[in-house]
């Protein structure tokens, strides 16, 4: 059964292929085909009448293998018309009659260089003519027109005086001008007017003005003499060591007809501002650091551990300059080595080792030593981390010589001193003449001091 069905379908296909096609569908006076689905068996086409005509018969006809079914007719409807209307800068192609039947039409054509706008035919419809076309004037183009717009023809040898509507030609901007980015390189005629592109004066970035205003381009790929287009935007920034002037124009700048309004930067001092406070040795800022400070702003410093501050901890920005910063000096530290070398010790004996003091130290001689007459004071103030150590010498003992006293006919007046074996250097010995002797006029004083272990003896005769 399947075989029989296949054979039947094959036979049908073969039959359809052998069926002849229809020729082109017949034309209808005062009408036209508006839909054509093909010219094979069973295909259809649709007709429609011109204005002032009405359809008589079927609007669809069908292809029946080698012929079409009968087409419709377009019959005149309505009243007749008078002479066809004329148009400016154009003509009627046929002789203009006094009377036209309903459905009649005339065809128009424009004069040289004029362009037809609208349908080229007008129909008589129930006593009235349908809309007539217009003839659009050509556009006039002169070298002067182009020059006033800073442009010229791309092809200089090309001779152009007039352009029909819709026509165009290529141009280029004159030297020193650039085409606005939104424009095309064409001059075009559109319905009685010319659409010109825009050529505007180009801007030239000036390195001199940029240097005078202490600015540079934000993008560092700047060449020394750069031409930029109208409406192009450039971003400037301050050169190193400068900041934006509050009275400056914006730093985003557009090129406007050859003009660039350069922004301005100035030094902080010129603006009455200060940069970061000066750094100090062995110290740091006690508050957050900024790149610039307004006049009148104060900041504080702090010294590192084991260092002491001299001067005010606060500095103030005054008209672009900071007041004098403090200094940080190492705290005074007593040196056991220096104390040993100078035969001294701290007065308070329980302080045996390194001792820090923000104010002063007091020393004394070690046991068995005495203050050096040329020594600096034993009460010492700490000055910028330094200590000036006093000095002590070893104690020398004085013991009066019985032999010299006998020879010089003298004796001690204070017997208690004679019994001492060791006498302090500052101790004084007082002598007197023995009985029967008197002071020698050339004798040294009878009150003698022990100096470096020696005594100067007086003399009696």
- One digit per residue, the tens of pLDDT, for the chain of length 461 reads 555 666 666 666 565 566 678 899 999 988 999 999 888 888 999 999 887 778 888 999 999 988 999 999 887 777 889 999 999 999 999 888 999 988 888 999 999 999 999 999 998 888 889 999 999 999 888 888 888 888 888 887 777 788 889 888 888 888 878 777 656 788 888 886 788 888 877 787 888 999 999 999 887 554 444 566 666 788 899 998 888 898 999 999 888 777 889 999 998 888 889 989 999 999 999 988 898 899 999 999 999 887 888 899 999 999 889 999 999 887 777 888 888 899 988 887 555 445 554 567 788 988 878 888 889 999 888 777 678 899 998 877 777 888 999 999 998 886 545 545 444 444 678 889 998 899 999 999 988 877 767 788 999 98
- Domain presence at residue 365: yes
Task: Work out how many domains the chain is built from and give that number.
Answer: 6
- Domain presence at residue 252: yes
- For 198-216, letters b (16+ CB in 10 Å) and e give bbbbbbebeeeebeebbbb
- Domain presence at residue 277: no
- Do 183 and 216 lie in one domain? The reply is no
Strands, E assignment, 255-322:
265-266, 283-285, 298-303, 307-310, 314-318, 321-322
CATH of the domain at 299: 2.10.70.10
- Domain presence at residue 4: no
Distance between CA 228 and CA 353 in Å, rounded?
77
- Do 30 and 125 lie in one domain? The reply is yes
- Give the range of the structural domain holding residue 314, as residue numbers without chain letter: 283-330
Q: Which of 201, 234, 249 is the last residue of a domain?
A: 201
- Do 104 and 32 lie in one domain? The reply is yes
- Do 40 and 96 lie in one domain? The reply is yes
- Do 123 and 33 lie in one domain? The reply is yes
- Do 76 and 177 lie in one domain? The reply is no
- Domain presence at residue 273: no
Query: Are 181 and 201 contacting, i.e. CB atoms less than 8 angstroms apart?
Result: no
Q: Is the pTM of this model over 0.85?
A: no
């Amino acid at each position: 059964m399947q075989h029989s069905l296949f054979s039947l379908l094959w036979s049908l296909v073969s039959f359809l292929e052998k069926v002849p096609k229809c020729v082109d569908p017949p034309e209808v006076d005062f009408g036209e085909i508006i839909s054509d689905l093909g010219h094979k068996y069973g295909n259809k086409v649709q007709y429609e009448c011109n204005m002032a005509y009405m359809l008589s018969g079927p609007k669809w006809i069908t292809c029946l293998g080698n012929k079409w079914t009968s087409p419709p007719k377009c019959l005149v409807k309505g009243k007749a018309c008078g002479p066809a209307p004329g148009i400016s800068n154009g003509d009627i192609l046929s002789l203009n009659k006094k009377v036209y039947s309903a459905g009649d039409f005339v065809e128009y054509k424009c004069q040289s260089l004029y362009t037809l706008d609208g349908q080229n035919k007008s129909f008589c419809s129930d006593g009235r003519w349908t809309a007539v076309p217009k003839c659009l004037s050509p556009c006039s183009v002169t070298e002067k027109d182009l020059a006033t717009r800073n442009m010229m023809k791309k092809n200089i040898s090309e001779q152009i005086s007039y352009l029909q509507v819709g026509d165009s030609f290529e141009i280029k901007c004159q030297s020193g001008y650039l085409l606005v980015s939104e424009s095309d390189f064409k001059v075009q005629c559109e319905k009685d007017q010319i659409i010109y592109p825009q050529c505007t004066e180009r801007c030239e970035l000036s390195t001199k003005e940029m240097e005078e205003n202490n600015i540079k381009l934000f993008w560092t790929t700047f060449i020394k003499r750069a031409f930029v287009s109208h409406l192009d935007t450039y971003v400037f920034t301050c050169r190193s060591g400068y900041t934006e002037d509050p009275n400056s124009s914006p730093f985003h700048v557009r090129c406007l007809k050859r003009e660039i309004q350069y922004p301005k930067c100035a030094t902080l001092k010129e603006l009455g501002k200060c940069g970061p406070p000066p750094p100090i040795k062995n110290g740091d800022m006690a508050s957050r650091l900024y790149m610039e400070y307004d006049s009148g702003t104060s900041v504080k410093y702090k010294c590192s551990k084991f260092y002491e501050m001299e001067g005010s901890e606060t500095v103030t920005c005054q008209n672009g300059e900071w007041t004098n910063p403090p200094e940080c000096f190492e705290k005074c530290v007593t040196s056991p080595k220096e104390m040993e070398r100078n035969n001294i010790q701290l007065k308070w004996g329980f302080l045996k080792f390194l001792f820090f003091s923000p104010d002063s130290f007091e020393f004394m001689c070690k046991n068995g030593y005495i203050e050096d007459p040329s020594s600096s004071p034993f009460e010492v103030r700490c000055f910028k981390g330094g200590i000036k150590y006093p000095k002590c010498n070893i104690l020398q003992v004085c013991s009066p010589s019985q032999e010299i006293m006998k020879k010089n006919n003298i004796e001690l007046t204070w017997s208690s001193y004679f019994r001492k074996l060791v006498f302090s250097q500052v101790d004084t010995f007082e002598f007197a003449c023995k009985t029967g002797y008197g002071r020698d006029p050339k004798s040294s004083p009878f009150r003698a001091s022990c100096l470096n272990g020696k005594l100067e003896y007086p003399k009696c005769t």
